[in-house]
Structure 1
């Protein structure tokens, strides 16, 4: 017998199948108020910015990446950071239409 009943009461229980179950955590869907709360102001602003970024990207016919899209948004008055624009573009699956890389040009050694 353990002299620490608190520890004994908190030890994981063993199920009939042999798996371990943590008795201190309930299973199932989250029931906290945050799980059912409306999105916060940052998430709402991200959604608005994503719409604006998508519009800028479509106006540029898919050629603008994050730096140029950020510059256009700054000119239009939508204050946000370049990294935030890049992150939102990645999450939305928006990418610039880049040209394929040019072939590497090397000089052939002289045949002597």
Structure 2
């Protein structure tokens, strides 16, 4: 329910020779203005080959077709590879937050 409760949601996947290598989720919200990119994952052995960017581009194309004019995502700051990818794709830091874990 959490993954699909938004009215406009799309999952993108990238397969090579039938093998699933990358996935991501896009939602269009905020009166249709915002594409939210989440749950992007690439198999470790398939990283740094452009698959994550391809998934983001596919979700962005879908979002634009749905009327989205802006995009957002969340990423852990310590995930330097993902942060670098998103920066190359034009994303910038809007704000940060701290997640606390109980001892």
- Taking structure 1 as the reference length, the TM-score comes to 0.24
Higher alpha-carbon Rg: 1
Greater percentage in helix: 1
Q: Which has the higher strand share?
A: 2
TM-score (norm 2): 0.25
